[in-house]
Structures are given as C-alpha cells and as structure tokens.
Amino acid sequence: MKKKYRITPLEDLQEVSLFVIHGENEKCSDFEFFLRHFSHTHPEEVSKIVKWISKIGENGALERYFRINEGKISDNVVAIPIEKLKLRLYCIRWDEKNLLIGGGGLKQTAKYQDDPVLYQHVKILQQIDKKLKDRFKKGALRVVDGIIQGLERLSFDVNIDD
C-alpha cells in the first residue's frame, strides 16, 4: 500500500532547521503523534527527547551527536541516541543544519527490524531519504546558505505495510 507523505518545517532553531513528515489524511505529523502519545506513558523520556533536540538546535546537528557509523540503519536515518531510553525516535540527519524528524515507538525487541512498528518508521524514513537524494541529484532540491529550498513543493509516495 502506498501512502503520501509531505515534509513540513517545524522550527528554525539557532543552528538547525527542524522538519517533520506528515502522512496524508493524518491529523498531525508522525513526530507530534509520538510526543502526544508517549507523553502520557513515558513523560520523562519524552522530555529528554525534546530537550535533546533543542540542544542539537543550539549546537548544530554534529555527526558526533548522532554516532552515525555505529548503527545498523542505513543512509542518513538514525535513532535519537539518548542512552537507556525505552522510546526510539527516528530521524534523517541531512547535514549539520537540517534535521528531519520522523516517528518512533517503544523499543521492545533487541533489533528494530524485529519490531513491526519501529521497522515501519525506519522504512518510511529510508524511502524518504532516498527520494530526497534523488531530488537533490535532479536539482529539484538544493541547499542555499544552509537552508533546503524546494521542500514545500514536494510530497512523496511511500510504500507501507498494510
């Protein structure tokens, strides 16, 4: 089954622009759903994730904050790497200035691939990451002064499991 996603700007922080993905016919973005859903069950973890993102916003989305080469997830897709959290939130670290935040969930298995919910969120971001790279290659997207231009016109068809 295909689902259309668009990328929408969330915040322009001091050093980083935040974007979120928004599924067609959904009331809110995957990130907002994640925060609202888990703020009831895991309020402390949600707070840590929000604060972590704001710190990234202050300092820049530096590679070392993400431990890029340690994960098994391919491309630019990474889990927010706060230690000892049960929640996993996935994002695309495009560069030091641009962070696209996807969705996530509760980690209940050793590998994200073994959890259908988490795997789904990763797969969505992996497809968007690939499509973004293609658009950059074709010139539909470009970075000017650290700002991605052209995103507002784009939507992506993403394959999702039924």
SS3 content of the chain, % helix, strand, coil (to 5): 40, 30, 30
Looking at 8-16, 109-117, 126-134, 141-149, which segment touches another protein (CB under 8 A)? 8-16
Could you give the CA distance from residue 97 to residue 148 in angstroms, rounded to a whole number?
Answer: 9
Site for another protein in 49-68 (CB under 8 A): 50-55, 57-59, 64-67
Nearest to 91 by CA among 117, 114, 68: 68
Our finding on whether 73 is near another protein (CB under 8 A) is no
Least Å from the CB of residue 2 to another protein: 27
Our finding on whether 147 is near another protein (CB under 8 A) is no
Nearest residue (CB) to another protein, 54 versus 120: 54
Q: Calculate the CA dihedral of residues 150, 152, 102, 36 and round it to 10 degrees.
A: 160
Looking at 79-87, 106-114, 118-126, 149-157, which segment touches another protein (CB under 8 A)? 79-87
Nearest residue (CB) to another protein, 41 versus 159: 41
What is the rounded radius of gyration, in angstroms, for the C-alpha atoms of the chain?
15
Tell me how far CA of residue 155 lies from CA of 1, 32, 48, 50, 117, in angstroms: 16, 19, 30, 26, 22
Residues forming contacts to another protein in the complex (CB under 8 A) are 9-14, 18, 28, 31-32, 35-36, 39, 44, 46-48, 50-55, 57-59, 64-67, 70, 81-84
